[in-house]
Amino acid sequence: MTKCNQINIYLYRAKHVHKHNSDLFKRFLLLKEAGLTDVQFQFGPYGKPFVHVPDVHFNISHSGQYLAGAVSTCSFIGIDIERIKQIDFDCIDFFMSEKEIAHFKEIQLLEEKLDYFYKIWTLKEAYSKMLGMGLHMKLTDISLDNQQIKSTFKDVFCHSKMIDSLYRLSLICSQENINIVRITEDIIIQELKHNQII
């Protein structure tokens, strides 16, 4: 179960990511972290799914073969995972602040530029998802500073890690400590069947 000082991030590597296993993954998260067995999903104005249960917040993301998700009973959360691939850096003006762009331009090695690009991108997408806005907010107004996002809302912890050297995973939440839990389809199915969810 989620504690207010630590949050579990679940990583599920699927053979194929589709709506069915995404739905099972969400139900698994809500069962494991909030004890919910009868879940009715609703959607916010920008498409963020939620449940009408007080103090239960969840978010998922997927890229390539990975689904990543987390649940908090303490605060809003946002998560993003992206597969690292070569990219045209011309788009940095659309999501990096002036300070971040200046730092980006100082980086010499392409590999380090790519890592910084994806770290900033995933943290900002996670933050906008935490707010329920997706990419409907002006990301250039948000700056990353000392592992916290400074904005007009509040300070929150920024967690960002490489996964299997191919993915960047970022989580924005009020918990300072994270724990990554890798799960399989068998674990999800077994847990949901045991609790008569499927």
CB-CB neighbours of 155 under 10 Å:
12
pTM confidence score: 0.91
The pLDDT assigned to 153 comes to: 52
Domain borders along the chain are: 6-194
**Helices H, strands E: what count in the chain?**
4, 11
Average pLDDT value for the chain: 90
What phi and psi values does residue 27 have, to the nearest 5 degrees? -65, -40
| CA dihedral of 159, 7, 71, 136, whole degrees rounded to 10 | -20
130-159: average pLDDT: 71
> What percent of the residues of the chain are helix, what percent strand, and what percent coil, each to the nearest 5?
35, 30, 35
Give the three-state DSSP class for 111. helix
Q: Is the dihedral of CA 78, 160, 137, 175 positive or negative?
A: positive
Q: What is the DSSP string of 117-156?
A: HHHHHHHHHHHHHHTT-TT-S-GGG-EEETTEEESSS---
Integer-rounded Cα Rg, in Å, for the chain is 17
Check residues 175 and 146 and name the one with the higher pLDDT.
Answer: 175
In CATH, 6-194 is 3.90.470.20: yes
Please check whether residue 25 is in contact with residue 188, taking contact to mean a CB–CB distance below 8 angstroms: yes
State how far the Cα of 113 lies from the Cα of 92, in Å rounded to an integer. 11
Cα–Cα distances in Å, from 140 out to 34, 100, 135, 136, 159?
34, 9, 11, 12, 19
Parallel, antiparallel, or unpaired for β 49-51 and 41-43? antiparallel
- Taking only the tens place, the pLDDT of each residue in 100-135 is 999 999 999 999 999 999 999 999 999 889 888 777
Confidence of residue 151 (pLDDT cuts 50, 70, 90): low
Q: Which among 81-85, 91-95, 125-129 has the top mean pLDDT?
A: 81-85
State how far the Cα of 38 lies from the Cα of 41, in Å rounded to an integer. 10
